[in-house]
C-alpha cells in the first residue's frame, strides 16, 4: 500500500486511564464505559494499528512485513529490519502509573537472550529492544522524572520524623553515591512492616513542617492510591515535574519515572520492556531494576523544543528509532512540507488538518485520528487550521 492512508489506533483500557480524555479528544460521548489509558498508533505486535484495505481493515504490521522497503524505506529496513522502530501513543492518566525504568539496548539484548535460553529465569523482558521514550503534554501534565539532589530528598524524609527511615536518610546524606543504597533499602522493606511504615509517613506528613510541602502532599496522594507501597517513599527521591501544554520530558534508559496525571503525546522505541519499582499491583523485581537504574541527578527534566521551520518544532533526543514534530497551522500559509522521510504517522490533536502526498488525495486528520504515510509516498504536506504531531525515523 503506497501513499497516505487513514490509520486506526487501538485504545488500551488500563485501570489508571481517564474515562473522558480520549473520548473528548476524538469527539466521542464522554464518559466512556470504562477507563481509556492509551491510544496506540504503530505496528507493535501486541496491538498494531490498522489501515483500510479492500477486504476490510489490515494490520499495519502485516503491511510492513509484506513490503518493508516500500513502507519503511531502504535505510530504515536495513537498520531495523521489517518492523516500525517506533510506537506513538496518546496517554491519558487519571491516576498515577507505576514507578518504572527501561534497559538500554545492549542490556535488553543480553537479558532477553538469557531469558529465552533459560526458562527458569524470571520473565522480565518481552523483547530484545530498548525503550527510550519522550512525552509532550497536551494538557497540564504531572510526572516524576529522574532523581533530584539527594540532600533535598534527605531533608524531606528527615522532616517526616520517622526513626526507622534513618538508614535511608544517612545513605542520601552521602550524596549521589548513596542513592542506590537508599532505593535498595526502601524497595526491600520487609513486607510485613510496610503498612506501619507508610502509616508513620502519613502521620508525619500531616503533622510536621516540610522543607518541600509539595513532597508531603505527593506522599499523601500516592498512599491513597497505593497504601503500604514503599514506592510512596521512592517517589520522594524524584523530581516532580509539572508540564504546560507543549512542554516535554525525556526518559532515557535507566531513568526512574512515573506519570501522575494528564494527557500527552508519547513516542518511544517499539518495545514493551518495563521494570517496575512500586506504585503498582504488578510484579516488582528489585534486583533487576537496580541493575538498569542510572543513579545520577537529573537537574532539569524538561526537554526544550527546537524550531526547525515556521510553525514546526521538534525535541532533540539521542536515539535512532524516532523523531517527533509538532506543526501549528493557522490557515494562512500554503500546505506545509513535513520535515521527515521514511514511515510517518500524523496525529491530529486540534482543529482540522489534511495530509497529502504529491498528486494524492488529501486525508483528513481530526483530533485523536491519524494517518500513515509510507516511505514510498515521498514528501508529504499538512494543511488546514489546527495542530498535529508527526512521528518519524530520523534521516
End-to-end CA distance of the chain: 22
Q: Which three cell numbers stand for residue 141?
A: 501534565
pLDDT single digits (tens) 116-162 = 999 999 999 999 999 999 999 999 999 999 999 999 999 999 999 99
Residues 109, 253: Cα–Cα separation, whole Å: 13
Is the Cβ–Cβ distance between 95 and 224 less than 8 Å? no
Fold of the CATH domain 306-392 = Jelly Rolls (2.60.120)
Q: Is the preceding omega at residue 31 within 30 degrees of 0, hence cis?
A: yes
Q: What is the pLDDT of residue 1?
A: 65
Structurally, at CATH architecture level, domain 8-144+242-279 sits in Sandwich (2.60)
Same fold, 8-144+242-279 and 306-392: yes
17 exposed, middle or buried (CB, 10 Å; 0-12, 13-18, 19+)? buried
pLDDT digits (tens, 9 = 90+) for 32-84: 999 999 999 999 999 999 998 778 899 999 999 999 999 999 999 999 999 99
Q: Which residue has the higher pLDDT, 53 or 328?
A: 328
pLDDT tens digits for range 259-314: 999 999 999 999 999 999 999 998 899 999 999 999 999 999 999 999 999 999 99
Give the cell for residue 355. 495530509
Catalytic residues: 276
- Domain segments of the chain as ranges: 8-144+242-279, 146-236, 306-392
Write the DSSP string, 291-336: HH----B-S--EEPPEEEETTEEE---S-SS-EEEEEEEESSSSPE
Distance (Å, whole) CA 147 – CA 236: 9
Considering the entire predicted model, what is its pTM?
Answer: 0.95
Per-residue pLDDT tens digits for 213-264: 999 999 999 999 999 999 999 999 999 999 999 999 999 999 999 999 999 9
Amino acid at each position: 500500500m503506497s501513499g497516505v492512508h487513514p490509520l486506526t489506533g487501538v485504545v488500551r483500557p488500563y485501570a489508571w486511564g481517564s474515562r473522558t480524555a480520549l473520548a473528548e479528544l476524538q469527539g466521542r460521548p464522554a464518559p466512556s464505559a470504562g477507563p481509556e489509558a492509551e491510544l496506540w498508533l504503530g505496528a507493535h505486535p501486541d496491538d498494531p494499528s490498522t489501515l483500510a484495505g479492500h477486504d476490510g481493515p489490515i494490520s499495519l504490521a502485516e503491511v510492513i512485513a509484506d513490503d518493508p522497503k516500500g513502507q519503511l524505506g531502504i535505510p530504515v529496513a536495513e537498520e531495523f529490519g521489517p518492523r516500525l522502530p517506533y510506537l506513538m501513543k496518546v496517554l491519558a492518566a487519571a491516576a498515577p502509573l507505576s514507578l518504572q525504568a527501561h534497559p538500554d539496548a545492549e542490556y535488553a539484548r543480553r537479558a532477553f537472550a538469557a531469558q529465552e535460553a533459560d526458562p527458569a529465569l524470571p520473565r522480565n523482558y518481552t523483547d530484545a529492544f530498548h525503550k527510550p521514550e519522550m512525552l509532550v503534554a497536551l494538557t497540564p501534565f504531572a510526572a516524576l522524572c529522574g532523581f533530584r539532589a539527594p540532600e533535598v530528598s534527605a531533608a524531606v524524609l528527615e522532616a517526616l520524623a520517622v526513626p526507622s527511615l534513618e538508614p535511608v536518610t544517612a545513605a542520601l546524606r552521602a550524596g549521589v553515591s548513596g542513592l542506590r543504597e537508599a532505593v535498595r533499602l526502601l524497595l526491600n522493606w520487609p513486607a510485613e512492616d510496610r503498612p506501619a511504615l507508610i502509616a508513620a509517613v502519613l502521620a508525619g506528613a500531616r503533622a510536621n513542617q516540610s522543607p518541600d510541602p509539595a513532597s508531603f502532599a505527593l506522599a499523601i496522594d500516592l498512599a491513597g492510591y497505593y497504601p503500604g507501597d514503599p514506592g510512596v517513599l521512592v517517589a520522594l527521591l524524584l523530581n516532580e515535574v509539572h508540564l504546560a501544554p507543549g512542554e516535554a520530558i525525556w526518559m532515557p534508559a535507566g531513568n526512574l519515572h512515573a506519570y501522575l496525571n494528564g494527557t500527552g503525546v508519547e513516542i518511544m522505541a517499539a518495545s514493551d520492556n518495563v521494570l517496575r519499582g512500586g506504585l503498582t499491583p504488578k510484579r516488582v523485581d528489585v534486583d533487576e531494576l537496580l541493575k538498569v537504574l542510572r543513579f545520577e541527578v537529573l537537574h532539569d527534566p524538561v526537554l526544550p523544543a527546537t524550531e526547525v521551520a515556521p510553525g514546526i518544532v521538534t525535541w532533540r533526543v539521542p536515539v535512532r528509532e524516532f523523531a517527533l514534530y509538532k506543526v501549528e497551522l493557522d490557515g494562512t500559509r500554503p500546505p506545509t512540507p513535513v520535515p521527515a522521510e521514511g514511515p510517518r504517522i500524523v496525529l491530529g490533536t486540534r482543529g482540522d488538518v489534511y495530509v497529502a502526498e504529491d498528486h494524492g488525495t488529501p486525508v483528513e486528520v481530526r483530533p485523536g485520528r491519524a494517518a500513515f504515510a509510507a516511505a514510498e509516498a515521498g514528501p508529504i504536506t499538512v494543511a488546514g487550521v489546527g495542530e498535529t504531531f508527526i512521528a518519524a525515523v530520523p534521516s
